[in-house]
Structure 1
Amino acid sequence: MNRRFNLISLKRWFMVLIIVAVAAMPLHAFAAESGADRPWMNTSLSAEDRTELLLQAMTLEEKVGFVTGKVNNYYGFYNDGLERLGIPALQMADGPAGVRVANPDVQDKKSTALPAPIALAASWDTDLAKKYGDLIGQEAHNTTHNVVLGPGLDIARTPWGSRNFESLGEDPLLASGMGAAYVKGIQSNPVIATAKHYLLNNQETERFTTNATASERAIQEVYVRPFKAVVEQADLGSAMCSFNQVNGTYACENQELLTNILKDQIGFKGFVMSDYGANFSTVESANAGLDLETPGEPYGKWGSKLLEAVNKGEVSEQTIDEKVRRILLQMFDKGLFDKPVTNTTINAKADGAKARQFAEESMVLLQNNDNMLPLSDNKLNSIAVIGPDADTASAAGGGSSLVNPTYTVSPLEGIRKRAGKGVDVKYAAGTDPVSAGDAFNGPSAVPSAILSPANAQKSEQDYGTDQAEFGLHAEYWTNKDMEGDPELVRTDNQVNMNLGFYNYEGFNAQSSKLPVTPTKFNSKMSARWTGAITAPKTGEYQLSLTSLGSAKLYVDDQLLVDNQGATLSTTKKGITLQEGESHNIRIEYRTDFPVQSNHDMGAQVRFGWEAPEDAVDAKMEKAVELAKKSDVAVVVTRTYDSEGYVDRSDLELPNNQEQLIRKVAAANPKTIVVQMSGRAVEMDSWQKEVPSIVQAWYAGQEQGNAVARVLFGDVNPSGKLPVTFPADDQQTPVSTAEQFPGVNGVGNYSEGIFVGYKGYEKQGLSPAFAFGHGLSYTSFDYRNLHVKNSGKGDDATVEVALNLRNTGKRSGAEVVQVYVGNLPTKVETPAKQLAGWAKVDLKAGKQQRVNIKLDRSALSYWDEKSNEWIMPKGKVSIYVGSASDDVRLTGSVNIGSPSGK
């Protein structure tokens, strides 16, 4: 033992001598040295030793420059490498649903578009999550990136969050397990993963300014837990702090979050970077624990300002050293120095096959009355595929996570290919394409089929022919007052526009059916739409304008709707319209509020309607007629979810899709709905009208093949909901304006730890589909539950064992879920909380003994007085089942705490 100690001591003294020698060398000597003479490039040394050697060789100016990010047209943001010292640049790729390649010189900006992370979470499969992360890590490295901005560990606090599709669900344990596996996969390559957005970044509405206020207990038990897991279980390299304030302090200058919790309590050894432009201070953020500022005009606060603060003594050089040390350590540890990035062509076919597997395992069979699914190609002669984007290449979430796919397969293409030549598969859109305009609230847009750019009557026979043009005549100006000649003239099918952030290259190209609006109209602009509206049925209609910026609707030259648009809002007015009778309309819109001078906050306007149920336009009628003539109708619906400026506050399907489902289902009782979204959708108005519903999420570039294989039973669906689908948008645990979106800039997380299904259960709310829900084409039997605990104190464990049998006629996978409830303490705890799970594949008739070790956090609570996790002493209820509301076995176990609390 003494000899080993002496050897270690000698090694340490040797390292000290090297560092001293390096520090004493003149700077010009380094420039003359070749890379081989740089001691920190010695791969036999530890990452820690290499870091210290290199740190000593850097000047203060170089250190400050190293921790200050730069903007690049190709990479978005990164930090400069230092050629003098051989430090590679951190080249960051947006995620987390694949690698967003921004450089047009790299593989035509294409990579594999994977299912959204919320879909991955629906697989409840940590092995799959690791493969998912590994694929992202490989493609990042092979497209010249060494940092991936993902995974997203923001808890899906509300069901309507526009960025829920980037999350791993509403439960912190599920997000922890899937997130840790995802990070392990990414970092099995020479790539750093970045967990985001730390912390309480749970809404897009006012995300830059919201002050999210939450209790210490809620922060620890719900929102920090996934970050804790990826640090402890996956050696996370980087974390990204968010824009919002947390309890009154901006996240990127919040010492309690960055230093006290993340670095000291959790033991995070990596570095913290800011979201793009999320750093609002120099001294405060530097001293609070931010390590790398990513740029964002006009908010850049480091660089020369940080150097000046160091020279003034406001920030110590030791603090700067610690930032550099953290970054360099991860770069050495994760292999960024030794395995430089490459531009190696992606294997599109092989990686696409993996994307299909991820999609297949993520799909959730929500409903399957009378065993409508799976379809049998031997018993089918015809299938109607219906939906505005069923023939569209890829339905995906927008914003920074949008990936340019290597190839795509639409649902129509996948179903047609799988059905084969013996089945006649025909398509009808039924409604207009979903667009970025559908990201905000308000009535559905008036369909193009009842609009014309001139006052001309149209018949059903005209639709789809060259006999009539549909939509409105549109004129656009780059000023607010329609001055001069318009700079763009075209026909728009609908007035349903959302420019600014949603209209940048790569963000707006989700459908080839939609016109591309030049980005010069992204901020200051005005527009006029003229033409005629022809009602499909006599009745009372509500015509509306939803807008940010002023909008006016004239009918037959009379002002009908005047929406001031000081905030994004809707104004509507009733009008009686006669079937077949045309009325001239004119819509005038201006971006006349100061906030819209920002290129990210552009034009937002929608011409909407609320129509009688029997007001069916010609386009929808064609879909209904096709459904009548077909053996089966498959309605593919979708939402538009995206990073940006707004969350919807309702859960309705946009652009008249709900009416489409009802009308198709009335025409054909064998109607299947395939829902493509990144969030919960309200189904109350049509759920009982259709036998089968498949939640397909945003399923990536292989979505069409994956959907078809699930529908035809080639894949037995095994996905389970990672979020609760409420009955409607009024029956949720977060239901007040104070909670969401907040009042006077403050979002109150007053639900505390009762997020998601825990809140539904506490408030006695019955959801449409519960957390953990998901059906199968086979059935499973649960028996012989046994619960045991062992060890004491920090070594205490609880393990659940049971027999699981596949009692059906098909092979399938079941996710066995274990919940605990009613901890023996005076502190309020959930009646049911996920404590563990296992995904088990079983052939028909086979049985397996399943063992699940429960997570200690689910058996404990955070004590705000002692600032520690407490496992109380006493009896705890155990619930085992197929969903949070589908308990098959119950038991109990005695747990204990060394403190006796």
Structure 2
Amino acid sequence: MNRRLNLIFLKRWFMLLIIVAVAAMPLHAFAAEADSGADRPWMNKSLSAKERTELLLKAMTLEEKVGFVTGKVNNYYGFYNDGLERLGIPALQMADGPAGVRVANPDVQDKKSTALPAPIALAASWDTDLAKQYGDLIGQEAHDTTHNVVLGPGLDIARTPWGSRNFESLGEDPLLASGMGAAYVNGIQSNPVIATAKHYILNNQETERFTTNATASERAIQEVYARPFQAMVEKADLGSAMCSFNQVNGTYACENKEMLTDLLKDQFGFEGFIMSDYGANFSTAKSANAGLDLETPGEPYGKWGTQLLEAVKKGEVSEQTIDEKVRRILLQMFEKGLFDNPVTNTQINAKADGKQAREIAEQSMVLLQNNNDVLPLSKKELNSIAVIGPDADTASAAGGGSSLVNPTYTVSPLEGIRNRAGNGVEVKYAAGTDPISAGDAFNGPSAVPSTLLSPADAEKSEQNYGTDKAEYGLRAEYWTNTNMEGDPSLVRTDNQVNMNLGFYNYEGFNAQSSKLPVTPTEFNSKMSARWTGSITAPKTGDYKLTLTSLGSAKLYVDDQLLVENQGETLSTTKKAITLKEGESHNIKIEYRTDFPVQSSHDMGAQMRFGWEAPEDAVDVKMQKAVDLAKKSDVAVVVTRTYDSEGYVDRSDLELPNNQEQLIRKVAAANPKTIVVQMSGRTVEMDSWQKEVPSIVQAWYAGQEQGNAVARVLFGDVNPSGKLPVTFPSDDSQTPISTAEQFPGVNGVGTYSEGIFVGYKGYDKEGMTPAFAFGHGLSYTDFDYRNLHVKNTGKGDDATVEVSLNLRNTGKVSGAEVVQVYVGNLPTSVETPEKQLAGWAKVDLKAGKQQRVKIKLDRSALSYWDEKSHEWVMPKGKVSVYVGSASDDVRLTGSVNIGSPSGK
């Protein structure tokens, strides 16, 4: 009896333990067990990704497969493809990049994430560990804001110095872009998130980017433009690539079998999937058979969906081809953990992630010039600082378009400098010019300053010129038709006539300053406008008044037609006029979007009322800045450009909106003028570089830009950034110099420079840039000695290693980027005079020395042979150059190389 009771007791005790254990199990354990059952065997985590992919593929119907490879778009949720609840397939939820996560859904964390420095800034750090950290942060925030695919990095080579989307690139050199890009991708994909390398391929301009036929040699594609994509495959297990809008040698990129299948998939061994850019697929069977795997999005722009299903039924596309697309996508989803780690909406750590953004920005800043050691600033030697610049008091310096991120918080340069200067140093601000806007994205003379303009019906009095008027600008009337018919839909005062609507005026796609009025999107396509008021010259002299427009524009002065611009293409018309100081003239400007191209909501109004003025014509706002600079110990002029994805690249390199004149006038008033340049592209400095002692290239530095700038200026951070692009002396001294090369003629852009892109082209043409590729100064000095170059290995395993002693000979700690270039390959084939072959970033304390070892990249010692269609390493002696920039060689040597073939 007792034995029976004991057995009963033991059974109950055992059951209780089971109940307790089961209760303690997480819910997902049940789901995993259920999903690994007979109904969903592909959810069994013990199987390989390929095994799980094949099991799931067999369970899908043809209709489900076609739906799976046909993406969709939603204004709130961004790009995605449909998941399949029946089979437990999660949707691909995509976030624009590549400078952070662009959250489109208003229900997710108020659409905010960490705004990181632009990728071009990251490239300026030349730090692959930092690039991995950058990617990891993006991957984490993507996953925690409900996204499992990031549309980045951008691997488009910065072919021209004025590219409006250069800020999204990783520079002009394919080896630098490869190294930084691979680290970036590895960082993203260390999370359950797929990275997407874009835009494949020859997508190197915004002007006519939707239609241009980019024609390049096989060698240029292999050695320059495709190399970063190859590196992502070989060094980062890239999950996805995005094909571009443009044609490549006569065939649209997203239906180009030679580029998609033959090169990327077959030659490079890419196992991921290729998606189209938004609306970049123009065919059904052709793109499907060429190697496109996912159309992004579907309707209304798409050619897949029901059309692709019909093509399969007609035999135009095989079901095996569809299977291969699905297989590629599923494989990446399993390999990268998308099935097993669903996305979440987990609040990101704004403070911690913001700190990372600041640290990245600090490492990216390039000290271009520092005469007389004006920098770093010393608080002990300062009583007053003048901070000057149109947007120095805001944190709006960022690239526009799809990469624009809504930051969790911002720090302006003015705020950062004030905080760092602290008590005892007076920091005052003056704008100097009007705010930078999307209107500054296109060419043409700067806009007429607002302080010279008075709106119609405003009190007109010569006595009030030069004082703070209640209102500057012109009375503006807007219509939603092209003939100014009926009552205007909008009436307001515009400080300047400097407008760029359409694509640049959508919520989340513009980067306009908070100082600028918001124009309703109803004016984004067909519209007309009239501006009325008066203009008062600040100085007697000869002026040119200009109209820059796409669409017709007329300028009347005192009721007489002075300037008429047809505007069939974006162009400028100017007319000379003599104006007397303080004398007001009535003006009227009429503008219409009356060309067919402007019927689209993307290609909207583009209009600027500009001027070319005498150097001594200084308006009120600029004079206030000059006066402030004159009475301050130091003047910090923060300039910026407006760079954005869209429809135009500037073809000049000038600072917009009268900023060049501002620098010159401030520098004349204060010999200790520091220029902090915030841009995503190169800027011409010829007219003011010699007038200022110090220039810092701060790029678009992200949401912590103000603190990062201040810490570099005050020496808390020793700048170590190096230029990833060449800064030409002016826009006429570049290797891309003909209309055939850029933007192209009759829709064809000819890459006639071949492999000689960036600094390699400057060397070939004998052009001396303002600042060379790889240039960047420090607050300390570095000594290079004892170079040794040796071969190791044989045949395909052969490598070249460079070693040297690097010593910090200054008084402060710092980091140096040791750059190795090779040249004079022993072959009759034309090769670059110098080509980057490797680099190392080295941190050294003052007085310390380190032996630095760098293995050279084989591609720099080889060339692509268009006859044999392979890489060839010629036999013979190669020159080796080691230094601090492409034009700052400290040590030279040589090495014998050679392939077994002897070619």
User: In structure 2, do the counterparts of structure 1 residues 203 and 514 end up closer, same or farther at CA, with 3 Å as the change threshold?
Assistant: same
* CA deviation after TM superposition for structure 1 residue 73, in Å: 1.9
- The answer as to whether partners of 1:456 and 1:532 remain within 8 angstroms in 2 is no
- The answer as to whether partners of 2:462 and 2:582 remain within 8 angstroms in 1 is no
* CA deviation after TM superposition for structure 1 residue 469, in Å: 1.2
User: In structure 2, do the counterparts of structure 1 residues 526 and 659 end up closer, same or farther at CA, with 3 Å as the change threshold?
Assistant: same
* CA deviation after TM superposition for structure 1 residue 464, in Å: 10
Q: Deviations over 1:784-820 (max 9, x none)?
A: 0000002221111000000000000000000000000
- The answer as to whether partners of 2:387 and 2:430 remain within 8 angstroms in 1 is yes
The worse-fitting range, judged by mean Cα deviation, of 735-744 and 454-463 is 454-463
- The whole-number CA distance in structure 2 between the counterparts of 1:127 and 1:774 is 19
User: In structure 2, do the counterparts of structure 1 residues 89 and 294 end up closer, same or farther at CA, with 3 Å as the change threshold?
Assistant: same
- The answer as to whether partners of 1:456 and 1:582 remain within 8 angstroms in 2 is no
User: In structure 2, do the counterparts of structure 1 residues 483 and 49 end up closer, same or farther at CA, with 3 Å as the change threshold?
Assistant: same
* CA deviation after TM superposition for structure 1 residue 19, in Å: 35
Q: Deviations over 1:263-297 (max 9, x none)?
A: 00000000000000000000110000000000266
- The whole-number CA distance in structure 1 between the counterparts of 2:79 and 2:375 is 47
- The whole-number CA distance in structure 1 between the counterparts of 2:834 and 2:16 is 55
User: In structure 2, do the counterparts of structure 1 residues 88 and 452 end up closer, same or farther at CA, with 3 Å as the change threshold?
Assistant: same
RMSD of Structure 2 on Structure 1 (CA): 7.0
* CA deviation after TM superposition for structure 1 residue 38, in Å: 0.7
User: In structure 2, do the counterparts of structure 1 residues 14 and 865 end up closer, same or farther at CA, with 3 Å as the change threshold?
Assistant: farther
State TM-score, norm by structure 1. Answer: 0.96
- The whole-number CA distance in structure 2 between the counterparts of 1:806 and 1:163 is 36
The worse-fitting range, judged by mean Cα deviation, of 700-709 and 16-25 is 16-25
- The answer as to whether partners of 1:478 and 1:524 remain within 8 angstroms in 2 is yes
- The whole-number CA distance in structure 2 between the counterparts of 1:834 and 1:113 is 30
- The whole-number CA distance in structure 2 between the counterparts of 1:176 and 1:558 is 58
User: In structure 2, do the counterparts of structure 1 residues 720 and 10 end up closer, same or farther at CA, with 3 Å as the change threshold?
Assistant: farther
The worse-fitting range, judged by mean Cα deviation, of 293-302 and 841-850 is 293-302
- The whole-number CA distance in structure 2 between the counterparts of 1:293 and 1:165 is 26
Q: Are residue 26 (structure 1) and residue 26 (structure 2) matched?
A: yes
- The answer as to whether partners of 2:498 and 2:608 remain within 8 angstroms in 1 is yes
- The answer as to whether partners of 2:630 and 2:670 remain within 8 angstroms in 1 is yes
- The answer as to whether partners of 1:35 and 1:86 remain within 8 angstroms in 2 is no
Q: Deviations over 1:587-639 (max 9, x none)?
A: 00000011101000000000000000000000100000000000000000000
Q: Are residue 697 (structure 1) and residue 699 (structure 2) matched?
A: yes
- The answer as to whether partners of 2:814 and 2:844 remain within 8 angstroms in 1 is yes
User: In structure 2, do the counterparts of structure 1 residues 310 and 16 end up closer, same or farther at CA, with 3 Å as the change threshold?
Assistant: farther
Give 3-state SS (helix, strand or coil) of 1:37's partner: coil
Q: Deviations over 1:8-51 (max 9, x none)?
A: 99999999999999999999999999988410000110000000
Give 3-state SS (helix, strand or coil) of 1:486's partner: coil
Q: Deviations over 1:58-94 (max 9, x none)?
A: 0000000000001212222211000000000000000
Q: Deviations over 1:851-887 (max 9, x none)?
A: 0000000000001111110000000000000000000
Give 3-state SS (helix, strand or coil) of 1:893's partner: strand
Percent of pairs with identical residues: 90
Give 3-state SS (helix, strand or coil) of 1:499's partner: strand
Give runs of aligned pairs for residues 373-412 of structure 1, distance below 5 A.
373-412=375-414
State TM-score, norm by structure 2. Answer: 0.96
Name the residue aligned to 2:656. 654
- The answer as to whether partners of 2:163 and 2:681 remain within 8 angstroms in 1 is yes
* CA deviation after TM superposition for structure 1 residue 192, in Å: 0.1
* CA deviation after TM superposition for structure 1 residue 200, in Å: 0.2
- The answer as to whether partners of 1:435 and 1:640 remain within 8 angstroms in 2 is yes
Give runs of aligned pairs for residues 204-243 of structure 1, distance below 5 A.
204-243=206-245
The worse-fitting range, judged by mean Cα deviation, of 6-15 and 885-894 is 6-15
- The whole-number CA distance in structure 1 between the counterparts of 2:105 and 2:573 is 43
- The whole-number CA distance in structure 2 between the counterparts of 1:301 and 1:672 is 53
User: In structure 2, do the counterparts of structure 1 residues 24 and 102 end up closer, same or farther at CA, with 3 Å as the change threshold?
Assistant: closer
Name the residue aligned to 1:538. 540
Q: Deviations over 1:346-392 (max 9, x none)?
A: 10000000000000000000000000000000100000000000001
- The whole-number CA distance in structure 2 between the counterparts of 1:723 and 1:182 is 19
User: In structure 2, do the counterparts of structure 1 residues 222 and 9 end up closer, same or farther at CA, with 3 Å as the change threshold?
Assistant: farther
* CA deviation after TM superposition for structure 1 residue 510, in Å: 3.2
User: In structure 2, do the counterparts of structure 1 residues 52 and 30 end up closer, same or farther at CA, with 3 Å as the change threshold?
Assistant: farther
- The whole-number CA distance in structure 2 between the counterparts of 1:810 and 1:716 is 8
- The answer as to whether partners of 1:455 and 1:532 remain within 8 angstroms in 2 is no
- The answer as to whether partners of 2:451 and 2:619 remain within 8 angstroms in 1 is yes
- The answer as to whether partners of 1:277 and 1:297 remain within 8 angstroms in 2 is no
Give 3-state SS (helix, strand or coil) of 1:193's partner: strand
User: In structure 2, do the counterparts of structure 1 residues 785 and 551 end up closer, same or farther at CA, with 3 Å as the change threshold?
Assistant: same
Name the residue aligned to 1:90. 92
Give 3-state SS (helix, strand or coil) of 1:18's partner: helix
* CA deviation after TM superposition for structure 1 residue 692, in Å: 0.1
User: In structure 2, do the counterparts of structure 1 residues 16 and 717 end up closer, same or farther at CA, with 3 Å as the change threshold?
Assistant: farther
User: In structure 2, do the counterparts of structure 1 residues 378 and 461 end up closer, same or farther at CA, with 3 Å as the change threshold?
Assistant: farther
- The answer as to whether partners of 2:400 and 2:511 remain within 8 angstroms in 1 is no
Give the aligned length.
901
User: In structure 2, do the counterparts of structure 1 residues 29 and 513 end up closer, same or farther at CA, with 3 Å as the change threshold?
Assistant: closer
Q: Deviations over 1:138-185 (max 9, x none)?
A: 000000000000000000000000000000000000000000000000
- The whole-number CA distance in structure 2 between the counterparts of 1:685 and 1:313 is 64
* CA deviation after TM superposition for structure 1 residue 511, in Å: 1.1
Give 3-state SS (helix, strand or coil) of 1:35's partner: coil
User: In structure 2, do the counterparts of structure 1 residues 328 and 499 end up closer, same or farther at CA, with 3 Å as the change threshold?
Assistant: same
- The answer as to whether partners of 1:678 and 1:697 remain within 8 angstroms in 2 is yes
- The answer as to whether partners of 1:279 and 1:285 remain within 8 angstroms in 2 is yes
- The answer as to whether partners of 2:396 and 2:511 remain within 8 angstroms in 1 is no
Q: Deviations over 1:745-782 (max 9, x none)?
A: 00000000000000000000000000000000000000
- The answer as to whether partners of 1:806 and 1:847 remain within 8 angstroms in 2 is yes
* CA deviation after TM superposition for structure 1 residue 580, in Å: 0.3
User: In structure 2, do the counterparts of structure 1 residues 625 and 466 end up closer, same or farther at CA, with 3 Å as the change threshold?
Assistant: closer
Q: Deviations over 1:684-730 (max 9, x none)?
A: 00000000000000000000000000000000000000000000000
- The whole-number CA distance in structure 1 between the counterparts of 2:6 and 2:371 is 73
User: In structure 2, do the counterparts of structure 1 residues 9 and 100 end up closer, same or farther at CA, with 3 Å as the change threshold?
Assistant: farther
User: In structure 2, do the counterparts of structure 1 residues 369 and 12 end up closer, same or farther at CA, with 3 Å as the change threshold?
Assistant: farther
- The whole-number CA distance in structure 2 between the counterparts of 1:274 and 1:75 is 18
- The whole-number CA distance in structure 1 between the counterparts of 2:254 and 2:6 is 44
- The answer as to whether partners of 2:547 and 2:573 remain within 8 angstroms in 1 is yes
User: In structure 2, do the counterparts of structure 1 residues 5 and 369 end up closer, same or farther at CA, with 3 Å as the change threshold?
Assistant: farther
Give 3-state SS (helix, strand or coil) of 2:38's partner: helix
User: In structure 2, do the counterparts of structure 1 residues 23 and 429 end up closer, same or farther at CA, with 3 Å as the change threshold?
Assistant: closer
Name the residue aligned to 2:871. 869
- The answer as to whether partners of 1:879 and 1:887 remain within 8 angstroms in 2 is yes
User: In structure 2, do the counterparts of structure 1 residues 415 and 10 end up closer, same or farther at CA, with 3 Å as the change threshold?
Assistant: farther
- The answer as to whether partners of 1:15 and 1:49 remain within 8 angstroms in 2 is no
2:572 to 570, 583, 586: 570
* CA deviation after TM superposition for structure 1 residue 508, in Å: 2.7
- The answer as to whether partners of 1:411 and 1:708 remain within 8 angstroms in 2 is yes
* CA deviation after TM superposition for structure 1 residue 463, in Å: 8.2
- The answer as to whether partners of 1:508 and 1:516 remain within 8 angstroms in 2 is no
- The whole-number CA distance in structure 1 between the counterparts of 2:887 and 2:3 is 61
The worse-fitting range, judged by mean Cα deviation, of 32-41 and 833-842 is 32-41
- The whole-number CA distance in structure 1 between the counterparts of 2:310 and 2:586 is 64
The worse-fitting range, judged by mean Cα deviation, of 69-78 and 291-300 is 291-300
- The answer as to whether partners of 1:214 and 1:247 remain within 8 angstroms in 2 is yes
- The whole-number CA distance in structure 2 between the counterparts of 1:14 and 1:169 is 66
- The whole-number CA distance in structure 1 between the counterparts of 2:207 and 2:20 is 53
- The whole-number CA distance in structure 1 between the counterparts of 2:326 and 2:8 is 26
- The answer as to whether partners of 2:478 and 2:530 remain within 8 angstroms in 1 is yes
- The whole-number CA distance in structure 1 between the counterparts of 2:54 and 2:461 is 77
User: In structure 2, do the counterparts of structure 1 residues 763 and 28 end up closer, same or farther at CA, with 3 Å as the change threshold?
Assistant: closer
User: In structure 2, do the counterparts of structure 1 residues 634 and 329 end up closer, same or farther at CA, with 3 Å as the change threshold?
Assistant: same
User: In structure 2, do the counterparts of structure 1 residues 457 and 807 end up closer, same or farther at CA, with 3 Å as the change threshold?
Assistant: farther
- The answer as to whether partners of 2:298 and 2:304 remain within 8 angstroms in 1 is no
The worse-fitting range, judged by mean Cα deviation, of 20-29 and 689-698 is 20-29
